[in-house]
Homo-oligomer: A and B are copies of this chain.
């Protein structure tokens, strides 16, 4: 039986601020990181919510992130904006670049933003939901640490390499998905290990390359991609377009740079924005409404749209309180008192 603690939104936010400030993170980053953490907690994404402060604190203690990083924006081409995050956490760099990305997409029809040299600790959906809230279509992806073997291989090459997509809806929050191209999240395997449970046999292989249901053996071996050779191809694409194409680290580079510190990955994020109004002119609303027919064809047969569960949690949590396990709360309090 798990014992829970109820926190108001203000209390949860203050806990995040105390932990991050206490670990020496500059005030502007504290605010941006806290907003990202709180958005995940509000949406019921436990692994990227308050729990993630443990990962952020560890990354700070390991000196794997620049505490007072100053993001710098470069307007490198009509359709391209780059933000060098200066080795800091990603949210502040994203916040600096987003208005420029949107402005470029509106004039060019399509534009790309490269966030470079940043430490990612969050999901990707918070990076693209605001693109769709602004009426545009967003797409984002990023490598991570090399933990995942390619299809047909046994040695890690790819990160968990997530991809996220956001589509604007009238009278609804955007349709957003965000998934790792690994069969599962690394944190999920760690959770099974802590609980002494067997993992499904298609999540990972052991160090000898054999299928395993042993979570510890999986963490010492290699994770697998979702969807066999197709998921592997997608992971490779993400590795390339959010790595070398934007002049940033691959997942192999990132884990080498980490050097065993087990901090969050360092590298790039590629974010694309398409403006339906530039593409379709006066017919934009007509065609966006046609997308609703596709959504209805999915939900009318009892299937779920990717973001439905997250928005339901958001409605439940609109006014708090946030319930977190006593064990996590105690760990966070200890981090806040350092």
Contacts and interface: CB of A to CB of B under 8 A. Distances in A.
Interface of A: 76-80, 107-112, 114, 137, 139, 149-155, 157, 163, 165, 167, 175, 177, 179, 181, 226-231, 233-234, 236-237, 239-241, 243-247, 250, 252, 272, 274, 276, 278-280, 283, 287-288, 290-291, 293-294, 297-298, 301-304, 306
A171 to B, nearest CB: 16
Contact of A294 (B155, B240, B246, B287): B240
Contacts of A77: 107-109, 278-279
A111 B155 CA distance: 35
B298 A150 contact: yes
Contacts of A252: 293-294, 297
Contact of A110 (B149, B239, B272): B272
B155 A301 contact: yes
Contact of A236 (B76, B155, B239, B306): B306
Contacts of A234: 163, 234
Nearest to A179: B230
Contacts of A298: 150, 153, 157, 236
A137 B112 CA distance: 13
A97 B137 CA distance: 23
A270 B142 CA distance: 22
Given A137-B245, A165-B237, A227-B226, A78 B287 contact: no
Given A114-B279, A151-B303, A246-B279, 10 more contacts: A76-B109, A79-B79, A79-B110, A108-B108, A165-B233, A227-B228, A234-B234, A236-B306, A243-B290, A247-B280
Given A177-B237, A227-B230, A245-B279, A157 B294 contact: yes
Contacts of A155: 297, 301
A265 to B, nearest CB: 15
A109 B228 CA distance: 32
A94 to B, nearest CB: 18
A301 B154 contact: yes
A298 B229 CA distance: 12
A53 to B, nearest CB: 27
A284 to B, nearest CB: 9
8 closest A-B pairs by CB = A227-B227, A153-B303, A80-B109, A79-B108, A77-B109, A152-B303, A177-B233, A153-B301
Contacts of A276: 245
Contacts of A303: 149-153
Contacts of A236: 175, 177, 294, 298, 306
Contacts of A137: 240-241, 245
Contacts of A181: 230
A247 B279 contact: yes
